[in-house]
C-alpha cells in the first residue's frame, strides 16, 4: 500500500516558477481580505454568479448538462430536478452551498468526505452515494479515433478505505507544520485523492468540492466570488494533461507532483486576477454605468461577450448593457464580431488610439 507523507515532498516543489506563483497569490489574498471586510455587501451578486458557474462547470466536465434556464432555477432552488442529470446538478448545488456556508466547521475527515459524497447523490436515489467503490475501477481515455484505453489504474477496492484514512492523516500531519504552504499541500492531496479514485462515480466532482473546502479553510476564499470550477472547465485539456503527468509512477511513489501543482496554482492565480478585475469595476465610484461598460471593453484585450460584461458588473441590468453596446457601436468605439449567441465585441483601437 502506498505511503502518504508530504512533510519533505512539498519542499521539492519550491522552484523559482512555483515560488513566484505562490508570492503572487499571497499578495492577492491580502487584497481580497481587505476588500471583503470593507465591501462584503457589494460582493453578494458575485457569489450568486459564481454558484451558478461552479455548478454548471464542474458537472459539464463530467458530461452532465441541462439548459441555462433550468440550471439557474435549480441553483436558486426554484424548481425540482426532472432528469438524472438535473438530480446530480441539484446534489452538487447543495454540497457547494454547505461548503460555502459552513467550511469553518467541516474538517477533512474520511467520514466528512463520505457525507459530502452522500449528499452529492441525495436526489438520484442511487445506492452509491456515501459509500466507497464496491468494485475496482479504472481511469479511461479515448483517442481521436474513439478507441478507449486505460490511462490509470487506481487502488483496488479492498485498499480504498485505509488509503483515504492514511491520506487524510498525512494532510493533517503536514498542514499544521511551520513553513508548509497549504497552496502546495492541497493540490498534492487532490492528486492523490484522484489516484485513489475512492468512489464508483463522482470522483472528479468530489475532488473539486474538496479543493474549495480546503482552500476556504486555509483562507483562500476567492472561489466564493469567482468560479474555480469554470477556470478548470475552460482549460480542461491542460487539466487532464497535468493529472496524467503527475500520476505517472504514482504506485511506485515516484510521481512528480509539480505538473499538477503548477496547473492548480495557475487556476487559483487566474481566479484572483479575475476577482481583482471585477472588484475594480464594482468599487468604481462617480462613474456612470455606461462609462463603466465602456471601460470594461476598453480594458479587455481581445473579444468580450455581453454575458461576460454582465458578470463583471452584476449590478447593471441587461437592458442597460445592450443599450450601451448599441450606442458604442453607433459611435464606432467598438466592433461587433459574429452574431446570435456567438456575438462578441472588441474595442476599436484603430479609431481610439
**Averaged pLDDT of the chain:** 91
> Which residues of the chain does CATH 1.10.10.10 include?
286-347
The continuous run of DSSP H or E covering 56 comes out as: helix 44-61
DSSP H helices in 283-340? 289-298, 306-312, 318-331
- State how far the Cα of 272 lies from the Cα of 225, in Å rounded to an integer: 9
**pLDDT of 135 higher than 90:** yes
Structure-block grid coordinates of residue 263: 496547473
Whether the Cβ atoms of residue 141 and residue 148 lie closer than 8 Å to each other: yes
pLDDT tens per residue across span 43-76: 887 888 899 999 999 999 999 989 988 998 999 8
- State how far the Cα of 194 lies from the Cα of 50, in Å rounded to an integer: 24
Q: Does domain 286-347 have CATH number 1.10.10.10?
A: yes
- What is the pLDDT, as a whole number, of residue 79? 86
Nearest to 227 by CA among 31, 115, 92, 33: 92
Which one has a higher pLDDT value, 21 or 178? 21
- State how far the Cα of 106 lies from the Cα of 67, in Å rounded to an integer: 32
- What is the pLDDT, as a whole number, of residue 160? 98
**To 10 degrees, what angle do helices 258-282 and 16-38 make?**
30
- What is the pLDDT, as a whole number, of residue 187? 98
Percent of the chain with pLDDT over 90: 72
pLDDT tens per residue across span 320-333: 999 999 999 999 99
- State how far the Cα of 100 lies from the Cα of 334, in Å rounded to an integer: 38
- What is the pLDDT, as a whole number, of residue 32? 83
pLDDT band at 280 (very low <50, low <70, confident <90, very high): confident
3-class state of residue 137 by DSSP: coil
pLDDT tens per residue across span 1-13: 899 999 989 999 9
Structure-block grid coordinates of residue 343: 456575438
- What is the pLDDT, as a whole number, of residue 43? 82
pLDDT tens per residue across span 94-108: 999 999 999 999 999
Which one has a higher pLDDT value, 208 or 296? 208
**pLDDT of 216 higher than 70:** yes
CA-based end-to-end distance of the chain: 63
CATH superfamily of the 9-281 domain:
Fido-like domain (1.10.3290.10)
> Which residues of the chain does CATH 1.10.3290.10 include?
9-281
- What is the pLDDT, as a whole number, of residue 21? 97
DSSP for residue 313: -
- What is the pLDDT, as a whole number, of residue 300? 87
What average pLDDT does the segment 280-287 reach?
Answer: 68
- What is the pLDDT, as a whole number, of residue 353? 61
pLDDT band at 311 (very low <50, low <70, confident <90, very high): confident
Amino acid at each position: 500500500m502506498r505511503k502518504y507523507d508530504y512533510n519533505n515532498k512539498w519542499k521539492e516543489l519550491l522552484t523559482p516558477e512555483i515560488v513566484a506563483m505562490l508570492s503572487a497569490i499571497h499578495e492577492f489574498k491580502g487584497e481580497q481580505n481587505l476588500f471583503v471586510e470593507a465591501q462584503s455587501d457589494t460582493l453578494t451578486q458575485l457569489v450568486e454568479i459564481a454558484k451558478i458557474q461552479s455548478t454548471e462547470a464542474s458537472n459539464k466536465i463530467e458530461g452532465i448538462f441541462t439548459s441555462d434556464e433550468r440550471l439557474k432555477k435549480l441553483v436558486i432552488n426554484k424548481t425540482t430536478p426532472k432528469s438524472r442529470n438535473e438530480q446530480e446538478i441539484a446534489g452538487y448545488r447543495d454540497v457547494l452551498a454547505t461548503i460555502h456556508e459552513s467550511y469553518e466547521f467541516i474538517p477533512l475527515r474520511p467520514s466528512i468526505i463520505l457525507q459530502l459524497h452522500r449528499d452529492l447523490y441525495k436526489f438520484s436515489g442511487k445506492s452509491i452515494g456515501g459509500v466507497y467503490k464496491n468494485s475496482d475501477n479504472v481511469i479511461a481515455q479515448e483517442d481521436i479515433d474513439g478507441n478507449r484505453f486505460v490511462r490509470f489504474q487506481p487502488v483496488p477496492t479492498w485498499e480504498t478505505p485505509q488509503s483515504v484514512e492514511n491520506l487524510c492523516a498525512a494532510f493533517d500531519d503536514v498542514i499544521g507544520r511551520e513553513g508548509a504552504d497549504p497552496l502546495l499541500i492541497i493540490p498534492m492531496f487532490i492528486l492523490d485523492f484522484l489516484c485513489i479514485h475512492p468512489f464508483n462515480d463522482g470522483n472528479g466532482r468530489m475532488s473539486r468540492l474538496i479543493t474549495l473546502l480546503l482552500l476556504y479553510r486555509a483562507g483562500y476564499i476567492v472561489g466564493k466570488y469567482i468560479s474555480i470550477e469554470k477556470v478548470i472547465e475552460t482549460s480542461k485539456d491542460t487539466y487532464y494533461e497535468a493529472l496524467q503527468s503527475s500520476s505517472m509512477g504514482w504506485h511506485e511513489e515516484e510521481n512528480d507532483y509539480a505538473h499538477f501543482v503548477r496547473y492548480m496554482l495557475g487556476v487559483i492565480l487566474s481566479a484572483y486576477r479575475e476577482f481583482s478585475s471585477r472588484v475594480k469595476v464594482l468599487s468604481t465610484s462617480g462613474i456612470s454605468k455606461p462609462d463603466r461598460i465602456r471601460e470594461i471593453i476598453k480594458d479587455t484585450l481581445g473579444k468580450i461577450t455581453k454575458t461576460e460584461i454582465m458578470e463583471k458588473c452584476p449590478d447593471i441590468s441587461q437592458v442597460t448593457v445592450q443599450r450601451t453596446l448599441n450606442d458604442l457601436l453607433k459611435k464606432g468605439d467598438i466592433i461587433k464580431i459574429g452574431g446570435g449567441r456567438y456575438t462578441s465585441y472588441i474595442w476599436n483601437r484603430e479609431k481610439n488610439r
